[in-house]
Amino acid sequence: AQSVSQHNHHVILSEAASLELGCNYSYGGTVNLFWYVQYPGQHLQLLLKYFSGDPLVKGIKGFEAEFIKSKFSFNLRKPSVQWSDTAEYFCAVIPYSGAGSYQLTFGKGTKLSVIP
Amino acid sequence: NAGVTQTPKFRVLKTGQSMTLLCAQDMNHEYMYWYRQDPGMGLRLIHYSVGEGTTAKGEVPDGYNVSRLKKQNFLLGLESAAPSQTSVYFCASSYSIQGTSGSPADTQYFGPGTRLTVL
């Protein structure tokens, strides 16, 4: 079974600081990768996803993520955070085929607090 | 489109009571899911369905049952609620990548959540 690790439980940044949130997964085969965001009191929304092609993917609100297959990583980045980015961020993985290809496995999440 | 809706938004139960949570989606998605979210645990899959009339167990299925009698609806039941089931429950739905049941799931769209407290 696949698993997802998010290295930081809580990150606190000042506005305009750069952000990088780590995500590593364990699975031997091909995977599809996602980052979701959950703003306070709201449901999860898709930030970006990677299925194939260019390993640097761009999402909404200036976020991007880079898939590094050799490191089993899919780190999320943003050059300059805003107070409105305060939220919890979840990395998720789903096998591309076979058993489990319907099931998204989530990391435990990283809370981002941006200080004005 | 309303997307994914959940009923109710809040509920308080006493231990041993039963209830059903309703999830509805109007996007004609093949796949539907029920998750629970607890602090520090992320989202954990309870049950899922890859098509009308089919259901399967996820990571934490004990104490829950589900049914998908219609493609657009996915019901989650608690037969005898326990305090350990206090949580926020999210429903989600997704297309399959190839548009047919059996192919991998694409992006999941989430409902607004149901906050359940079991006393």
Residues A12-65: tens digit of each pLDDT: 999 999 999 999 999 888 889 999 999 998 889 999 999 889 999 999 999 999
Q: Are the C-beta atoms of B40 and B102 separated by less than 8 Å?
A: no
Give B110 to chain A, closest Cα distance, Å.
Answer: 6
Strands B114-118 and B10-13: parallel
Averaged over A75-98, what is the pLDDT? 92
Residue A70 has pLDDT above 80, yes or no: yes
Q: Is A36 helix (H, G, I), strand (E, B) or coil?
A: strand
Q: Is A8 helix (H, G, I), strand (E, B) or coil?
A: coil
Give CA angle at B74 (B68, B76), nearest 5°.
105
Round to whole Å and give the CA distance between A106 and A85.
Answer: 20
Task: Nearest chain B residue to A8 by CA: give it.
Answer: B40
Q: Which residues of B touch A97 (CB under 8 A)?
A: 104
Give the separation between CA A16 and CA A45, rounded to whole angstroms: 23
Measure in Å the smallest separation between the Cα of B47 and chain A Cα atoms: 10
- pLDDT classification of B100: cutoffs 50, 70, 90: low
- Which residues pair with residue B24 across a beta bridge? B5, B73
Nearest CB to B90 within list A43, A103, A109: A43
User: B39-88 pLDDT, tens per residue?
Assistant: 888 899 999 998 899 999 998 999 999 999 999 999 999 999 999 999 99
Which of the four pLDDT bands, split at 50, 70 and 90, describes residue A113? very high
Strand partners, B57: B47
**Has residue A105 got a pLDDT over 80?**
yes
Contacts of A31 in chain B (CB under 8 A): none
Q: Is the dihedral of CA B55, B32, A73, A23 positive or negative?
A: negative
By C-alpha distance, the chain A residue nearest B113 is A43
Residues of A in contact with B100 (CB under 8 A): none
Extract the tokens encoding B60.
Answer: 């934490």
CA distance B21 to A83: 34
Q: Determine the residue among B27, B93, B108, B115 to mutate to test chain A binding: the one whose Cβ has the most chain A Cβ atoms within 10 Å.
A: B108
Contacts (Cβ under 8 Å, ≥6 apart) of B35: B43, B44, B45, B46, B58, B89, B90, B91, B92
CA count, 13 A, side-chain hemisphere, A57 = 21
Task: Note the Cα B108 to chain centre separation in Å.
Answer: 12
Structure tokens at B76: 């989650």
Q: Do A43 and B41 touch (CB under 8 A)?
A: no
Give the model's confidence band at B106: pLDDT under 50 very low, under 70 low, under 90 confident, else very high: confident
